[in-house]
Structure 1
Amino acid sequence: MADDLAAELVARSRADIAASVGPNRFLELLEAGEVPPERLAWLAGEEFRIVGSDRRSFALLASRFPEAPAGAFFLGLAQGENEAFVLLQDFAAALGLSDKDLIAYEPKPLAQTYPAYLAQRAAFGASSEVALAMLANLEEWGAYCGRVAEALRGRYGMDERAVGFFAFFAEAPPGFADQAADVVAAGLAAGERPEDAALAARMLHAYETAFWNALAEGL
């Protein structure tokens, strides 16, 4: 029963998000080679803050929901952020940015709404909320990262090491979708509200859109 409800919820949330996807001006400019170097530095600086925040959020979720399947799922996401953090430093280095530069970077408020919301849900939300939000938004986020990697290679002459951060997120980890769906089903079976999970998926999508819009502001 919970598995069927989870499958329906995932399908509906994916459809809702797909229907709301609009143009991504930052990516369009990047693919045209029209994003200036200082704006690429914004991308590195914003992601530096996001990865650090998301790593803590997933670790918190693993501690709040330690039992299977949620505990292993969230711990795996936290470990993935560790890998991404190392790869992000390679992207920053290709831009001539040091660790000190990343730390000193002042983030744009609207670019940080996504990790702020994830941190809020990590502290106060249900396991199914975060699992569904990550799963429902996975396809769009992965596609965007793949486009960024390709544009950086083709338009900005970056090598595979420099684009490794975006290539990493372009592909879902093996088994991710099934694991996330299992967490959603387990949460619903434990009494978590499907309406809350669906809302979290839509909210996360809106905040991801705000991230890309913030990067394109003024271009």
Structure 2
Amino acid sequence: MTGHDAPGLIAEARRESAAATRPNRFLDLLEAGQVPRERLIRLAGEECHIVGSDRRSFALLASRYPTSPSGEMFLSLAQGEGRAFTFLLDFAAALGTSEKDLSRYEPQAAAQAYPAYLAQRAAFGTAAEVALAMLANLEEWGIYCGRAAEALREHYGLDEAAVAFFRFFAEPVPGFEEQATEVIAAGLAAGEDPRAVLRAARLLHAYETMFWDSLAEGL
């Protein structure tokens, strides 16, 4: 571990995430136009469960850690998930799927490990753990969403409204890195174990990888 201050821990978490990153087979297939439409519906269904869970997780964190900057950061993330859900419905509609259909979708365990872990940390973890986990992994998630948006436009004929869900997550959240860094610094100053904070980032990255692997399974 390079250091116990917030910038050092963030750098370490990003290095660990980068070292653990491997080719994303689902996106490689999507960019080749080889993902069948029914698998895109599965993507929408999984995301429906993820977005709903993450929104509640961030709201819970905001109630557990209401003071600045944690409260504002988690409330902003919860509101972002709410916006993302409306975009997700547009994606589903472009695939011929309704909100009612999404609510009936039965999620796959491997795809839901990510939100399950985030919910666990929201209930039992710390603000610093979640802040580092999100900060260390959002860049990769954003890149993946950007790739998905371009592939869906090029190979599946979807318009910009239909891919707005992916465009939304492809863009960095203004001010998030500064807020997250402050939250992490406060946690470390209060005596949090930096190894536990770093562990949350490492595990969240692994569970995100499981999500993409589950989408590619059998293709």
Determine if the alignment matches structure 1 residue 83 to structure 2 residue 96: no
Which amino acid is the alignment partner of residue 66 of structure 1? P
Structure 2 residue matching 1:68: 3-state secondary structure: coil
Matches within 5 A, 1:81-160: 81-160=81-160
CA contact (8 A) 1:69 1:186 kept: no
Structure 2: stretches of 5+ with no match in the other structure = none
> 1:192 Cα deviation (Å)?
1.7
Deviation at 1:188, TM superposition (A): 1.2
Local SS of the residue matching 2:5: helix
Shift of 1:190: 1.6
Is structure 2 residue 180 aligned with structure 1 residue 213? Answer: no
- Between Structure 1 and Structure 2, how many residues are aligned? 217
User: Residue 137 of structure 1: SS of its match in structure 2?
Assistant: helix
Q: Is the Cα contact below 8 Å between 1:128 and 1:183 reproduced in 2?
A: yes
CA distance in 1, matches of 2:20, 2:127: 24
Cα distance in 1, alignment partners of residues 170 and 187 from structure 2? 27
CA contact (8 A) 2:4 2:194 kept: no
Flag as ranges the 4+ runs of structure 1 deviating above 6 A: none
TM-score by length of 1: 0.97
**In angstroms, what is the RMSD of aligned CA positions?**
1.0
C-alpha separation between the residues in 2 aligned to 1:16 and 1:211? 18
Contact kept in structure 2, 1:129 and 1:201, CA below 8 Å: yes
Residue 172 (structure 1) shift: 1.1
Shift of 1:4: 7.3
Specify the code of the residue in structure 2 equivalent to 1:131.
Answer: A
Give percent identity, aligned residues only. 68
TM-score normalised by length of structure 2: 0.97
Residue segments in structure 1 that go unaligned for 5+ positions in a row? none
1:171-216: CA deviation from partner (whole Å, max 9, x where unpaired) = 1111111111111111111222211110000000000000000000
How far apart are the structure 2 equivalents of 1:4 and 1:109?
35
Distance in 1 between residues matched to 2:56 and 2:193, nearest whole Å: 25
Q: Aligned partners of 1:130 and 1:124: how far apart in 2?
A: 11
Q: Tell me how far apart the structure 1 counterparts of residues 4 and 80 of structure 2 sit (CA, whole Å).
A: 29
Q: SS of the counterpart of 1:192?
A: coil
What residue is the counterpart of 2:8 in the other structure?
8
Alignment match, 1:43 = 43
- 1-structure distance, mates of 2:157, 2:18: 31
